[in-house]
Amino acid sequence: MPLIDVADDRTLVAAAQAGDRRSLDILLRRHYDKVHAVCRRIAGSSRDADDAAQEAMISIVRGIQRFDGRSAFTTWIYRIATNAALDELRKRNRRPALHSVTDDDGSPPEAVDSRSERTIESVSDRIAIDDALAGLPPEFKAAVVLRDVCDLDYAEIADALDIPVGTVKSRIARGRSLLVQQLGNRDPPSRRQIPDQQTPAPPGAAPDDGPPPS
């Protein structure tokens, strides 16, 4: 494998900014699944996610010279992907209602490659969470996706969304609370960051101190 194919992002970005088209192509291919996963979670339908991901790729190509390295390259592309997906949501709101519910062929949304959706462990969980995410306000949805799908920390999300860290924490907390409500307090996938709901013991029951001594 050529060394350029395994170079880190910083090296590839520097080469791309110097005009190396191959390095730029490697960057785009390396991060496309991540970009599409963000767009899929925020935009909802596969058609809108495809459109948003394509727009994000175009924006990355056009803006690569402006990337200054002050944040991680992944944080920068997540910001672009989030903005592209939110733009698609705004466009959807201007479409006829029929197109905001299903894809043009009437089929249900297609699943993105599971490797790009690390917090989802089964098809049923993915569908349920997709439906719940669709009901979140866009600003909550973006924060939750960047945290629970992309595993960004609060500072990185604040940078990606250009909002204070305190606002990030508030949006994530409120978004997760709404997700739990919409999911009917079902047990979420084990890798999701939403806390499980514990069932209280019946009145008068003795506390469970574990198994009796042998």
114 contacts: CB under 8 Å, gap ≥ 6:
120
Residue 117 lies in a domain: yes
pLDDT (average), residues 187-201: 44
Residue 55 lies in a domain: yes
As given in the structure block, the two tokens for residue 46 are: 């596969």
End-to-end CA distance of the chain: 59
Which pLDDT score, from 0 to 100, does residue 84 have? 93
Residue 203 lies in a domain: no
Instruction: Report how far residue 76's alpha carbon sits from residue 113's, in angstroms, rounded to the nearest whole number.
Output: 22
Residue 202 lies in a domain: no
Q: Which long-range contacts (CB under 8 A, 24 or more apart) does 106-111 make?
A: 109/44, 109/45, 109/46, 110/46
Note the pLDDT tens digit of each residue in 150-179: 888 999 999 888 899 999 999 999 998 888
Instruction: Report how far residue 50's alpha carbon sits from residue 144's, in angstroms, rounded to the nearest whole number.
Output: 20
Per-residue pLDDT band at 125 (split at 50, 70, 90): low
- Tell me the average pLDDT of the chain: 75
CATH of the domain at 162: 1.10.1740.10
Which pLDDT score, from 0 to 100, does residue 2 have? 57
199 contacts: CB under 8 Å, gap ≥ 6:
none
Number of structural domains in the chain: 1
Residue 102 lies in a domain: no
Which pLDDT score, from 0 to 100, does residue 195 have? 41
Locus of tokens 């990337």: 67
Nearest to 110 by CA among 50, 46, 48, 47: 46
Q: Contact, 141 vs 106, CB < 8 A?
A: no
Note the pLDDT tens digit of each residue in 128-156: 777 778 888 888 999 999 988 888 899 99
Considering just the CA atoms, what is the radius of gyration of the chain in Å? 20
Residue 190 lies in a domain: no
Q: Which domain holds residue 24?
A: 3-95+111-182
Residue 7 lies in a domain: yes
Per-residue pLDDT band at 93 (split at 50, 70, 90): low
Residue 213 lies in a domain: no
